């Protein structure tokens, strides 16, 4: 398999024969076909066919996700544990990746490592995809000569944190999607179906029931003012997400509000505690000093309220305060978590006790999300029934009234 001399956006597929006359094929990233031929010649491969890889209809819009980084960590850890050299591991993982953006990222890191940089230094050039926690653990692994062990810890950490995120998204996405569908169906009924009944009722020559008149008036309002309402709603949503992304005070307000929301709040709190404990366990077991570890832990909690709390803990620990006492001062952690951390501090097994806390809360989040899904489904069916059923009943009330008169 060919190694790429330079990183570019264009993937080339090639076939040829090696020095022993065996047929070989592979994929290389290069600026043009001439660069691919030159690289193959340096490797002793005589190319018989070189062509650009088809990007497909949606391949160009691909991007690197947190899930891609988690899979990459596991693949790299597995290859290093099997004794495959680092650069060759990057080559195998990079050229075998279907996501073009991820492939470009991996081969860019590989090129830096080939140029003499350490893996940690190469990863530092891509802070969007490799955070301080990832880089610090890799650096600790390189210095201790146990890179494959630390990569395995990173992979486990990434897999577990991604599993929690997926659980939370599952709990929130399903009801949101159903409610959106219910809203769209209601709008369709108000704009297209209710007017047909309205024309029918005009020939009755009798007063309509109050509920029917109310629904007809809503339909008329939506038809007359619908575009303005849609524009206003669109502007409001855009403004909300714009400031949510860029305004830290607004994110702090929203994160604090969601933590106090019934049903959802406790799940998000448990998820933040699980991420806190899992990250602390991973960093501490890698030999990262506690104060430095807490800085990475803060950014991994996924909630600004907990992030600020952990940063206050870091400052207190830096002045000589015990971690247990610093956690109590934040008023963000249940007593059970604080006591387990205290036992870990006293016994010198903080990483193990943190891992136990993480395991407990990850399982608790799983159970809470499953229970929430079971609870939400009948509630959503009830909401759909009230919305759609209410409109249907409103339209048939005059017909029932006529039948009783006849």
How high is the pLDDT of residue 205?
62
Other beta carbons within 10 Å of 29: 28
Burial of 273 (0-12, 13-18, 19+ CB in 10 A): buried
Other beta carbons within 10 Å of 227: 9
- What is the spatial distance between Cα 327 and Cα 306, in angstroms, rounded to a whole number? 11
Tokens of 80: 């290093």
How high is the pLDDT of residue 156?
85
Q: Which residue has the tokens 């592979």?
A: 26
pLDDT tens string, the chain, 406 residues long: the values are 444 333 444 677 778 888 777 787 777 767 677 777 887 787 778 888 888 766 544 444 468 888 888 888 888 888 888 888 888 888 888 777 777 888 888 888 988 888 888 998 999 898 888 887 888 888 888 887 888 888 888 888 888 888 888 877 877 787 788 788 888 888 888 888 888 888 777 766 667 888 888 888 898 898 888 888 889 989 998 998 888 878 888 888 888 998 988 888 898 899 899 989 988 988 888 888 888 889 888 888 888 999 999 999 999 999 999 999 999 999 999 999 999 999 999 998 998 999 999 999 988 988 888 887 777 778 888 888 888 888 888 888 887 776 554 4
Burial of 217 (0-12, 13-18, 19+ CB in 10 A): exposed
How high is the pLDDT of residue 328?
93
Tokens of 94: 């990079």
- What is the spatial distance between Cα 24 and Cα 208, in angstroms, rounded to a whole number? 81
End-to-end CA distance of the chain: 86
Phi, psi of 103 (to 5 degrees): -60, -45
Q: Which residue has the tokens 């006790």?
A: 353
- What is the spatial distance between Cα 120 and Cα 300, in angstroms, rounded to a whole number? 19
DSSP string, 310-344: HHHHHHHHHTT--HHHHHHHHT-S-HHHHHHHHHH
Q: Say if CB 66 and CB 165 are below 8 A apart.
A: yes
Number of Cα atoms under 13 Å in the Cβ half of residue 301: 25
pTM higher than 0.75: no
Strand partners, 1: none
- What is the spatial distance between Cα 319 and Cα 38, in angstroms, rounded to a whole number? 59
Residue 300's nearest CA partner among 284, 332, 329, 278 is: 278
Relative orientation angle of helices 66-81 and 147-188, to the nearest 10 degrees: 150
Query: In degrees, to the nearest 5, what angle opens at C-alpha 379 toward C-alphas 244 and 372?
Result: 65
How high is the pLDDT of residue 60?
45
> What pLDDT digit, counting tens, does each position of 188-211 carry?
888 888 888 887 777 666 678 888
How high is the pLDDT of residue 8?
43
Strand partners, 11: 29
Element at 50 (helix H, strand E): strand 46-52
3-class SS shares of the chain: helix, strand, coil, % to 5:
75, 5, 20
- What is the spatial distance between Cα 379 and Cα 174, in angstroms, rounded to a whole number? 12
How high is the pLDDT of residue 313?
95
Tokens of 92: 């195998």
How high is the pLDDT of residue 206?
66
């Amino acid at each position: 398999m060919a190694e790429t001399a330079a990183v570019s956006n264009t993937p080339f597929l090639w076939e040829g024969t090696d020095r022993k006359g065996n047929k070989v094929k592979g994929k290389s990233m290069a600026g043009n076909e001439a660069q691919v031929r030159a690289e193959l010649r340096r490797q002793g491969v005589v190319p018989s066919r070189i062509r650009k890889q088809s990007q497909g209809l949606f391949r160009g819009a691909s991007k690197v996700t947190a899930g891609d980084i988690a899979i990459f960590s596991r693949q790299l850890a597995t290859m290093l544990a099997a004794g495959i050299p680092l650069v060759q591991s990057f080559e195998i993982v990079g050229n075998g990746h279907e996501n073009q953006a991820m492939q470009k990222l991996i081969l860019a890191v590989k090129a830096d490592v080939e140029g003499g940089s350490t893996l940690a230094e190469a990863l530092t050039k891509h802070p969007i995809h490799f955070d301080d926690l990832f880089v610090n653990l890799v650096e600790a692994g390189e210095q201790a000569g146990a890179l494959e062990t630390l990569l395995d810890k990173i992979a486990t950490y990434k897999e577990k944190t991604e599993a929690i995120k997926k659980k939370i998204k599952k709990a929130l996405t399903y009801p949101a999607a159903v409610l959106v569908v219910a809203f769209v169906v209601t709008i369709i009924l108000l704009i297209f179906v209710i007017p047909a009944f309205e024309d029918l009722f005009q020939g009755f020559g009798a007063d309509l029931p109050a509920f029917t008149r109310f629904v007809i008036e809503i339909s008329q309002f939506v038809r007359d003012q619908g575009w303005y309402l849609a524009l206003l709603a669109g502007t409001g949503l855009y403004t909300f997400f714009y400031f949510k992304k860029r305004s830290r005070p607004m994110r702090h307000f929203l994160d604090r509000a969601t933590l106090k929301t019934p049903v959802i709040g406790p799940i998000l709190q448990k998820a933040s505690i699980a991420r806190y404990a899992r990250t602390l366990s991973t960093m501490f077991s890698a030999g990262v000093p506690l104060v430095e570890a807490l800085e990475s832990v803060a950014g991994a909690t996924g909630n600004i309220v907990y992030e600020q709390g952990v940063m206050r803990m870091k400052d207190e620990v830096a002045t000589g305060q015990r971690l247990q006492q610093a956690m109590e001062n934040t008023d963000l952690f249940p007593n059970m978590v604080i006591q387990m951390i205290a036992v870990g501090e006293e016994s010198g097994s903080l990483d193990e006790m943190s891992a136990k806390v993480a395991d407990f809360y990850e399982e608790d989040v799983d159970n809470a999300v499953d229970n929430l899904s079971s609870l939400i489904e009948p509630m959503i069916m009830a909401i759909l029934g009230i919305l759609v059923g209410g409109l249907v009943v409103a339209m048939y009330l005059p017909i029932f009234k006529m039948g009783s008169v006849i």
